[in-house]
Chain A
């Protein structure tokens, strides 16, 4: 009987472990946090990114998206990193091959959890998202509308 109890306890324990994943932060939870972080800005779009750790000697993996931004419009990029992974997301905005915005300041080494981009030229922009030092990571990047200027 005691053996049977141990077996059932082990099965139960295994099932508990299997359900642990349900407590990991989901993309929706991260998005809801991001929307709170964005404050008064109005939600427009989100990008949910999950990237593996960079392999030795290789470039860190990156996600790429493109979007249209309007002239004389202030946008907010809010970044919410999952606490289940070590990676801290870095965003770079490119106009063709020209870097026009990022949340990571190379000069100071500071990475900001959100930033505003004052767009003065309507057009197609490409955003690249990777994780600092090529770590494995999961994040949600929210694009919001702040105001016109």
Chain B
């Protein structure tokens, strides 16, 4: 009798443990794990609806695309362009940490694109530090990324995991009433990506790079809408004022369209859709330099703060 009871109880313990493992391996309910300081919660009502915010937050292009463009025009990698990780401890407020996370994230994308795993570890470590400070470190798979970078293996996975981790952090912050921080991460990514492409365009002028910078007029418009929701915060106000100066210069950039009919073709069993619209982006060299110089000023102010 007692033997049978022990056996049955053991079975139950194993089953209960098994079901709790499920929670660990699957989707952990992180919202219960961390208490969010009041200082990082949204203050007051948003000026545009949550639904509209959700639409816009996805409206910022990935640093991967900019890094891919820089590489595709044949410009060699340069460590000189990157923000230093030496003073990561100076990012000592949520505001600075979120912006820094975006900046280092863009730099990580640039290095990944060139397979520069040697210097990647410093950036992964800095990102982990900042993510932990913002209580989103659980989404950054530091161990796996460090292993991939150290062994210089499976570099596609390094890119996949790091970009996915950033998306998870962004999603978590947005869903947990900390959209102000995810907006700052997005702003950091955009500013650093603009800085990278601007520096490259200055040293190796190229029409594709100029056009890409001109195209950012559309993205900056979305970013400003996001940031302006928090302009009551003096730090946000300061950043908005800086970016408004860039937006003012962008008024000199003209974007026109000619609509075409999309066409669908099948290539080797894969469906390919060609949009066939035409878009003309006009940006003068003078405007280009003004945008680049102002971006450098804004970015350097952030990394020296």
Contacts and interface: CB of A to CB of B under 8 A. Distances in A.
A130 B126 CA distance: 40
Given A68-B219, A124-B218, A43 B275 contact: no
B64 A145 contact: yes
B218 A122 contact: yes
B275 A44 contact: no
Given A26-B26, A115-B271, A122-B218, A70 B19 contact: no
Contacts of A46: 164, 167
Contact of A42 (B5, B64, B259): B64
Interface in B174-191: none
Nearest to B59: A68
Given A18-B19, A31-B164, A68-B219, A1 B4 contact: yes
B interface: dominant SS:
helix
Contacts of A12: 8, 11-12, 15
Contacts, number: 142
A117 to B, nearest CB: 5
A4 B3 CA distance: 13
A73 B65 contact: yes
Interface in A45-90: 45-46, 64-71, 73
Interface residues of A, number: 54
Given A100-B262, A112-B271, A118-B275, A43 B12 contact: no
B274 A71 contact: no
B90 interface: no
A139 B273 CA distance: 22
Contacts of A103: 271
Nearest to A29: B26
Nearest to B56: A66
A45 B60 CA distance: 11
Nearest to A148: B72
A32 to B, nearest CB: 9
A67 B58 contact: yes
Given A121-B257, A145-B65, 15 more contacts: A11-B12, A12-B11, A16-B15, A19-B15, A22-B25, A26-B26, A27-B27, A42-B64, A44-B65, A70-B61, A98-B259, A100-B275, A124-B59, A145-B68, A147-B72
Interface of A: 1, 4-5, 8, 11-12, 15-16, 18-19, 21-22, 26-27, 31, 35, 42-46, 64-71, 73, 95, 98-103, 105, 112, 114-124, 126, 145, 147-148
10 contacts: A1-B4, A16-B15, A43-B164, A44-B65, A112-B271, A120-B276, A124-B218, A126-B55, A145-B62, A148-B72
